[in-house]
């Protein structure tokens, strides 16, 4: 039997959790604990970490394993490795390597229950397309998707697609019927097209508020249409850079916390020290002291994300005025539920994917959860 103790994130009660065979068997009162205790973090959108991108023709299963275990220190107990818009050959290679890593390396299988394919069926327009290369943007193709899913050995759990194409409703319906979550993203779709996507089974909005035109009509526009549709769960990057606090607060209030999840959308430069880098997917970039990832020499332009999900929880608490009990589920149980992933919870019989952590000081301008331990399926995989 293994035990882990802390203050419950939802009640503040000090408890000791007993674990056997990866499952919580008892939760009992404990003398005063200093660290908080909650479910492990679940990130639905990770493009790489520690200098390694998943979109890489040289990617190996061993590199996938290195990325997976490196994020134990960030409190992640489940994540979806994410491949982004590229040639069929690149995407097939990435998916096949990810699948091989899950099949042959237990450390990957325990942490990566599936994959996220972001593209290539996105908007070709500047703004909504974001950093996705125009030469590889294309309309939805069911046959191609099936071949990529075959390469992934059935591992694709989320597909981000723009519904602005004529064949999008039928394509989305077929993808959903195959058991994959469809998320609307990088889109210039009309309100009617967004409604048709939700009617066809889309249930999510990828990093809502990003991957959009710099200038939009007041109304209608594709942000309001997605915010207004209760069938769509809003995925939000709360790193303090991608969404201003006022926008983050407004989105969460419009959707309600129950219909939002946090993602990092972290690139392969996550976890890297400040400096200038040449990224295989986004070119010449800089990681700044405050964690922003920007285009080298043009610091006003974000080039992606470089901060882990543990940044999002305290940022959300401050911006939207949420308590820890309200905010933490957006980075734990709610993303797991959206993608039907295994996840921890503080109840008897739940999988023992747990973290202990400390909250940042009130005057911290770059707040993050300070992870003090990470438990994965009852095994302590990280201690500070």
Of 330, 210, 200, residue with least CA distance to 259: 330
124 falls in which pLDDT band (50, 70, 90)? very high
Token pair, residue 259, equals 């219909």
Q: What is the mean pLDDT of residues 7-14?
A: 98
Q: Is residue 361 part of a domain?
A: no
Q: What is the mean pLDDT of residues 367-380?
A: 97
146's CB contacts (< 8 A; 6+ apart) are none
In the beta sheet, which residues pair with residue 354?
A: 39, 375
Residue 25: predicted pLDDT: 98
The tens digit of pLDDT for each residue in 271-291 reads: 999 999 988 777 788 999 888
195 and 154 in contact (C-beta within 8 Å)? Answer: no
Token pair, residue 116, equals 């996220």
Q: In what order do the strands lie in the sheet with 293-295?
A: 275-279, 283-287, 293-295, 298-304
Residue 1: CB atoms within 10 Å: 9
Mean pLDDT of the chain: 96
Q: Is residue 158 part of a domain?
A: yes
Q: Is residue 150 part of a domain?
A: yes
**Cα three-residue angle 62-370-259, rounded to 5 degrees:** 85
The tens digit of pLDDT for each residue in 63-94 reads: 999 999 999 999 999 999 999 999 999 999 99
Range of the domain at 191: 40-342
Q: Is residue 378 part of a domain?
A: no
Among positive and negative, which fits the CA dihedral 329, 106, 269, 368?
positive
Tell me the C-alpha distance between 193 and 225, whole Å.
Answer: 10
186-225 burial, b if ≥16 CB within 10 A, otherwise e?
Answer: bbbbebebbbbbbebbbbbbbbbbbbbeeeeeeeeebbbb
Report the C-alpha dihedral over residues 104, 266, 208, 181, rounded to 10 degrees. 0
Q: Return the CA Rg of the chain.
A: 20
- Whether residue 301 has pLDDT greater than 90: no
302 falls in which pLDDT band (50, 70, 90)? confident
**Cα three-residue angle 339-354-332, rounded to 5 degrees:** 30
Q: What is the mean pLDDT of residues 230-249?
A: 98
Q: Is residue 6 part of a domain?
A: no
Residue 284: predicted pLDDT: 85
Phi/psi of residue 357, nearest 5 degrees: -160, 165
Q: Is residue 382 part of a domain?
A: no
Residue 254: predicted pLDDT: 97
CATH code of the domain covering residue 216: 3.20.20.140
Residue 362: predicted pLDDT: 87
Q: Is residue 18 part of a domain?
A: no
The number of distinct structural domains making up the chain is 1
- pTM for this entry: 0.97
Q: Is residue 59 part of a domain?
A: yes
């Amino acid at each position: 039997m293994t035990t882990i103790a802390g203050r419950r994130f939802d009640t503040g009660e000090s408890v000791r959790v007993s674990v056997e065979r990866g499952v919580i068997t008892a939760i009992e009162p404990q003398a005063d604990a200093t660290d908080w205790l909650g479910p492990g973090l679940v990130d639905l959108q990770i493009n790489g970490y520690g200098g390694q991108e998943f979109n890489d023709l040289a990617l190996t299963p061993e590199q996938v394993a290195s990325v997976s275990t490196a994020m134990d220190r960030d409190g992640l107990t489940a994540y979806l490795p994410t491949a982004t818009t590229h040639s069929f050959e690149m995407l097939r290679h990435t998916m096949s390597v990810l699948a091989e890593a899950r099949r042959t390396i237990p450390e990957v299988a325990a942490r990566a229950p599936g994959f996220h394919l972001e593209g290539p069926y996105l908007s070709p327009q500047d703004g909504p397309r974001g950093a996705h290369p125009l030469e590889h943007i294309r309309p939805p193709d069911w046959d191609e998707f099936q071949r990529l899913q075959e390469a992934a050995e059935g591992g694709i759990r989320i597909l981000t697609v723009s519904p602005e194409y004529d064949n999008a409703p039928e394509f989305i319906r077929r993808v959903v019927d195959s058991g994959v979550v469809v998320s609307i993203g990088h889109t210039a779709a009309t309100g009617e097209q967004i409604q048709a996507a939700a009617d066809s089974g889309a249930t999510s909005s990828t990093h809502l508020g990003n991957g959009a035109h710099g200038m939009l009509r007041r109304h209608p526009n594709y942000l309001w249409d997605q915010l207004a549709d209760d069938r769509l769960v809003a995925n939000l990057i709360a790193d303090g850079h991608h969404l201003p606090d006022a926008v983050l607060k407004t989105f969460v209030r419009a959707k309600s916390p129950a219909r939002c999840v946090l993602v990092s959308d972290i690139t392969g430069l996550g976890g890297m020290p400040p400096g200038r880098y040449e990224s295989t997917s986004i070119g010449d970039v800089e990681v700044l002291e405050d964690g922003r990832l920007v285009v080298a020499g043009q610091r006003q332009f974000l080039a992606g994300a470089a901060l882990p999900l543990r940044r999002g929880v305290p940022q959300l608490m401050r911006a939207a005025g949420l308590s820890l009990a309200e905010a933490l589920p957006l980075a734990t149980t709610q993303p797991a539920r959206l993608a039907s992933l295994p996840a921890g919870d503080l109840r008897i019989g739940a999988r023992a994917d747990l973290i202990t952590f400390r909250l940042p000081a009130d005057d911290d301008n770059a707040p993050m959860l300070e992870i003090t331990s990470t438990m994965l399926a009852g095994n302590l995989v990280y201690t500070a």
